[in-house]
Each structure stands twice: as C-alpha cells, then as structure tokens.
Amino acid sequence: MSDPGAARGGPRRAEVPPLHDESPRLRGWQPRPALDRRSSQTAPEAVAGDVVLTADVATSDLSAAASARLGGRAIALAGVVVVAGVVLSRLIGWLRSAVFLAEFGGNNSNLDAFYAAFRIPDTLFQLVAAGAVGSALVPVASALLADGEGERARRLIATIANLMVLALVPLAVLVWIAAPSIVPVIAPPDDSSQLALEIGLTRLMLISPMLLAVGAVMTAGLNSLGVFGAPAMAPNVYNIGIVVCAIVLTPFLGVYALAIGVIVGSAGHVLTQVRAVSRSGLYSPQIHIHDPAVLETLKLMGPRALGLGVTQLVFLVNTYFAQSLHDKGALTQYSSAFTALQIPVGLIGVPLGIVLLPPLSRAVAGGDNERFRRLVDQALRLLLFVVVPLTGFMLVLAAPTIAFLYQHGEFNAADTASMVPIYEVFLLGLVAHVLIALLAPIFYAGKDTKTPVTAALLAVVVDVIAAVVLFPFMHLLGLALAIGLGAWAEVLLLVVLMEKRVGFDLRPLARHALAFAAGACVASAAALVVARFIERSTGGASSLVTQFGELAASGLVGLVAYMAWARVFRLPELADALELARTLTGRRKPAPPEPPARD
C-alpha cells in the first residue's frame, strides 16, 4: 500500500495541560493532543509530556509507564528520533521510486501496470485504517492512560486491531473476486495481456492492506505509551523491503518482484514493532465492542475515514486518466513526479510541525486566544519564509533535480525531459501542501475533526473537476495542476475558518509573504545564473557528480542571496529559522519561547 510514512507529518513533542480542565477555551474548541491529518502517528504530547524511548514497558502497569517523565535532553532526543525516522522514510521512499525507474525505465507499460494495480489495495488500506487509526485511537487511549486505566487502554488497542483485520479480510476477498471487473474501470489497459497483468498484481497485493492495518494500530498504541523508536523505523523497513525485492528479484520475476516487495515490506512494518508491542502487552485476541472507549474511537474514526476515502477518489480518477492516454510510461512519470514533490513536503512540514505545534496545543487547552493568534502568526510566517524561496529554487533547478533523483539505469535523459514539465506544475502547489501539514493539525488540536475533513472534501471536489476540465487539453500537466488547485482551495478554506474562529488578521502575514516572494525571485535568479554557468562549463555532462555539484552550488548561492535579502530588509523570520535549525540539530530543547507580536 502507500508508504505508511510518506504522507505523514509525524509526531510532535511538548508538555500539555491535563486532558480535563475548567479553564475558558477558544470559541468552540476543546483540548486535544495535536494530530496530523496526514499521519498514522500522534503527537508525543498526547501522553502528557512523557516519553519512553525504548520498548521496556511493564505489561502490568501501562499507566505508570506512560507517566514516566524524562529530562529536557531526553525529550529533545525523542524529537530527533522521530524526525530522523520520518526524514529517512522520505529519502528511502524516493530511493524506492528511483530503483523502479532504474530497473524498468520511464517508458515501460509493465511499471504502469504496477502503479495501476497498486491503487486498489492502497484504497482499501486508506479507507479502513491509515491516518484514521492514529487520529482516533491515540487520543482515547492516552486519556485512559492519564486516568490510570491501563488495562482498558490495552483492551481498546487490541479490539481496534482485531476489528481492522475483520473488516479488511472480507473486503480483500470481495475485491479479489471482482478484480476482473474493477481493474478495467480504474485503469483502462492497452490490451488483454496488460489487463491480465494488472489483475494479477492487484490480487497479489491485497495481502498488504491487512498487514499495514495491523501495523498502523501497533504504531498508534506504542505512541500512546510514548514509544517512538520502533514506530519511527517501521515505514523505513517497509520501503527497504520493497527496494531489496526490486533489486534482487526483478531479474527473475519482472514486475511481480515489486508486488512481492510490497508484501514483504508490509510484513516488515509489522515485525519491526512486534517486540515493542509484546513487551508492552498491547495485544490480545479479544474484542470488546461495547466498551465506551471502543465506541468513541470508532466514532472519531468516521470523519477521518470519510476524508481519506474521498481523497482516494482523486488518485483513482487521475490513474484512470493517465492510463487512458495509452502512452507507455505516462502513469509511471506522473507517479514519480508526485513522489519527488512529496520529498520537500515531508522534510519541511514535519520538522516545523514538531517545534511549532505543541505550544499551539497548549494555547488551545488553556483558552489563551491572544497567545494562540501570535503562535499561529509565527508558525505561518516561518513556514512561508522557508517554503516560498525553496519553491523558487526547485522551479529553476527542476531539470537537474529530476536528473539527480531519477536519471540512472534504464531511466535516460529523454525520460527526464518528459518528466520535468510535470514536476514543475506540481511545484506550483508546494506551498499549499506544506501549509496543510500545519493548518489541519491546528484544528485537530482543538478536537475539531470536521473542519479539516470538510476542507479535504473541498479539495477533492476541486481536484476532480479541474482534472476533468484540464485533462483533455493539458493531459498529465492538467492532472498535476488539478492537484495544486485542490491544495490551494483546501488552504483557503482552512485559513478563512481559522480567521473567523479566532479573529486572526491575515494582512500582516500577506505583507510578509510579499517580501518573501520578492526575495525568492532574486535568490532564484541567482541560483539559475549559477546553474546555467555550470552547465556551460561542463558541456551538458549529466553524471551524478556534476548533477549534485550543480544543485549544491546553485542552491548555496540562492540561499546566501535570500539570507542577504532577509538581513537587508530586516525580516525577523531569519532569526526564527536559525533558531529552528539549532533546535532540530539538538543544540536546544524543542520548546521555542512565545514570540512577541509583530505587525
């Protein structure tokens, strides 16, 4: 299924007030641990500021284990462990796509068949488990632990795991039987042989969602206890399993090696966490469907499952359109360009969220409206300060970036040239994708699951309509543009609703955003000049070393130019960004002081 860590924002770390207090609150908001809509994991602050970095949890006393407090250095280490796990997951996820392209090239109908077949099992996983488990299970389990009900928390986690399997097994059997009818509708094949291949791959990969669902519950349960090491590594084991099978088995099994890799990786995702789960006593073969905690968890899962399920409609529609072109490699190039887009989304959104979201959760729980506004302002400014220039750099350096990421083995310069325009259009939505990673969890911090889901549904509607309108004229570029338009629509709705709810003034933020954009234009122009000079000096050579040198030199010059712009115009976000860098490198406890109000 989809990379269990590829789309997640990751856990956040902070101390939060008690789960039940009597303080006045922001209008209509209730305290809740900060959760990421794109994550199957939860905020470490969900266990009231407690971190357990190993799986040494006494089975007889989960509550005591979850309430063990560690010092500032241990808290910082927990943040580093989580960030490292997510960053590594992004990088290995890219490596997975790069290996696929190196083995099969960018113009291969068999690889298209794999991506098309991958979509159906992935949809099952997203509908039943995925992020819905983490965003629903962790807060309820954490509340039980905080109240000293460790045994009930254990029963809750076991019940949800068993219900996931019981739901997925009959669904998988049904899809296996109906695959000959479902596959042609979702991914129109070129001929009968490709249809048979897509059906065979789909049926084989139906094993994976059941394994990943169990792994998702394991991750949520361990995070409830403050255990982050094994859950952080599980997505990396998933990707490593796929990569190893692709390299070792492809010469013998062809594209079926990738499907086997998905199963092996999914099994690895579970096995990585088995020891920690066993030592924590989190699983037993029981179902307590009438337990109020179970019913509450299932109720909370509803909106998230709906949002994730409807979001899958976008991928299904785009898969259909890409396959309907009947161009070899069309779906592969579209999927690989989207993977390249997700790298900066994960590498930026996760670290910023870890440092900035915990104080937002505390402000919500404490009902401090003014502090909440100031923190949101700082978070958004800092995020835009980083992402706006990065978008400019990536646009002007799109060609060497794609060449560096993918131009290896069977993937040649012509394939790179075909993918670059798709990647450039995807980048038009980069700022929006990263903003969503920050905006949506702010609502979850207030125990509001409906607003982010509503915004996600709007994004789906915009995505689908735009795809239908643009595809006949722009083909794959239209699909990429539709994704960006949907993301911007989601951001707009979230910002408008946030502004109404807490009285957030967007005008100062807009003025700063214009300053960031102007600086990004200057810095990107500098980076482009350096890139063109290097290309002329090397005569267009495309070795890995020259590609890396071009990106490094151009990016460094652009970064220096942007920092100079920030100093000349005295942009305070420069100091905030440097402080963030010090925090993420472990030189400072990840709890930034409350910022002064800025106009």
**Number of helices followed by number of strands (H, E) in the chain:** 20, 0
**Residue in 462, 464, 149 with CA at minimum distance from that of residue 317:** 464
**DSSP states of 79-146:** HHHHHHHHHHHHHHHHHHHHHHHHHH-SS-HHHHHHHHHHHHHHHHHHHHSTHHHHHHHHHHHHHHHH
Q: Hey, which residues does 35 pair with through a beta bridge?
A: 42
- Residue 200 in tokens: 């065979």
Tokens 């979001």 belong to 311
- Write out pLDDT tens, residues 140-177: 877 787 777 878 888 888 888 888 888 888 988 999 99
- Write out pLDDT tens, residues 450-466: 788 788 889 999 999 99
CB 29 within 8 A of CB 448: yes
Q: What is the per-residue pLDDT for 587?
A: 56
Instruction: Tell me the average pLDDT of the chain.
Output: 77
Q: What is the per-residue pLDDT for 18?
A: 26
Q: What count of Cα atoms within 13 Å lies in the side-chain half-sphere of residue 134? A: 34
**Residue in 191, 486, 441 with CA at minimum distance from that of residue 338:** 486
- Rounded average pLDDT over 470-479: 94
Work out the burial of residue 587: count CB atoms within 10 Å of its CB; fewer than 13 is exposed, 13-18 middle, 19 or more buried: exposed
- Residue 60 in tokens: 């007889």
Cα dihedral sign, 485-473-111-206: positive
User: Which are the contacts of 214, defined by CB distance < 8 A and separation ≥ 6?
Assistant: 161, 164, 165, 270
**Residue in 280, 260, 278 with CA at minimum distance from that of residue 268:** 260
Q: What is the per-residue pLDDT for 2?
A: 53
Work out the burial of residue 380: count CB atoms within 10 Å of its CB; fewer than 13 is exposed, 13-18 middle, 19 or more buried: buried
**DSSP states of 239-308:** HHHHHHHHHHHHHHHTTHHHHHHHHHHHHHHHHHHHHHHHHHT---S---TT-HHHHHHHHHHHHHHHHH
- Rounded average pLDDT over 66-71: 41
Cα separation, 422 vs 158, whole angstroms: 44
**Residue in 484, 426, 496, 485 with CA at minimum distance from that of residue 454:** 496
- Write out pLDDT tens, residues 217-261: 888 788 777 777 788 888 889 999 999 999 999 999 999 999 999
- Rounded average pLDDT over 580-591: 55
Q: What is the per-residue pLDDT for 263?
A: 95
User: Which are the contacts of 82, defined by CB distance < 8 A and separation ≥ 6?
Assistant: 10, 11, 13, 44, 228, 232, 354
pLDDT bracket for residue 483 (50, 70, 90)? very high
CB under 8 Å, gap of 24 or more: what pairs does 192-200 form?
194/109, 194/112, 194/113, 197/110, 197/113, 197/117, 197/255, 198/113, 198/116, 198/117, 199/117, 200/117, 200/256
Report domain extents, the chain.
44-505+569-584
Q: What is the per-residue pLDDT for 92?
A: 87
CB 258 within 8 A of CB 114: yes
User: Which are the contacts of 264, defined by CB distance < 8 A and separation ≥ 6?
Assistant: 241, 242, 244, 245
Cα separation, 175 vs 177, whole angstroms: 5
User: Which are the contacts of 338, defined by CB distance < 8 A and separation ≥ 6?
Assistant: 426, 480, 483
By residue count, the chain amounts to 599
Higher-pLDDT residue of 581, 439: 439
